[in-house]
Structure 1
């Protein structure tokens, strides 16, 4: 999508990027893209160590899924019962966090287009900035630390206790309004159809960016408030 198309979409929806009180960003594919196997290996280690199953996350359509959802999908495919999955889940999540923490030095994160500039602009305008991610909390913060973006965000909501992305987003909305007031306006920024659906379900507006695996056609059909090639188009 070129710049003129983007501006037309924004004007048509009456969408004004800088008018919100709080902005919550997804991590993978939105703020950054990792080029390592740290998170991948940690999930696979938890599957083998805790559930004693020789399986991996390969073949699971994980884009837009939470870490809990990814683990559940792998274990269901491997024939693990729901009772066993739930009984060992807390231990499995601890293993994922342990492994990512132990190997955080190996995280290689490429920052998506113009993200530092966009965040700096929002920060200078005194906007509340947070994270809404399907990562486990420790995993998400390690990725942001590796990318040098941690300092922009004062809070975050993750999948440690929320398998459904919509519940993560709802918690983000509740927190922002607890800080800013019940009438505070919130915008989510994400790169998957699941981000769009979750933002809508949480009663917020949403910008979809094509810096992840999904095309503008695959995202715009879910009717985000704006669908951009990258966050570069948000700079004023």
Structure 2
């Protein structure tokens, strides 16, 4: 496509004093530039189209490979969100957040509970901002907003506090299991722990009640 145009191009460049039917601003004293441009424009357009098609195909292939490597698309349903949500804070801190010196210390010392609490406290504001934006765009209702919001995890509880949509009705289910269970406490706790979020709900309920009672009793104790 290029070689057949070389000889005509040289011939056009060699022409002097051509008279054009249109008013000429460029070609005069400039080696007939507009004529050469008109000659080469279709070929250049074809090459640009080929480059665009090639880029589209290659970007799709590379995007597929990168997505497969990064395991994108694993979360496709609400059940998947339930299953993977507890990993969100850790992955968020590893992939998106800047390095935190305190987190490195907790990693090196093996303090997993404190590390999880720190990750959750850093992740919660970003998650809540996403949820609030969904509410502003009217994708979710106020009730759904309340269920999706994540506690700030900056209080005195030694555990991670998860959103309500993960823990809803888990305490009542645990109560029903406890009522129907005639086994020992260890076996009862083993049954409850099979559901991780039920375990989290029971632990949060226990620590919350303990924190409230301790605060009340401490205040009353100071009066004595």
TM (normalized to structure 2)? 0.24
Higher relative contact order (CA 8 A, sep 6+): 1
* Larger helix share, 1 or 2: 2
Larger Rg: 2
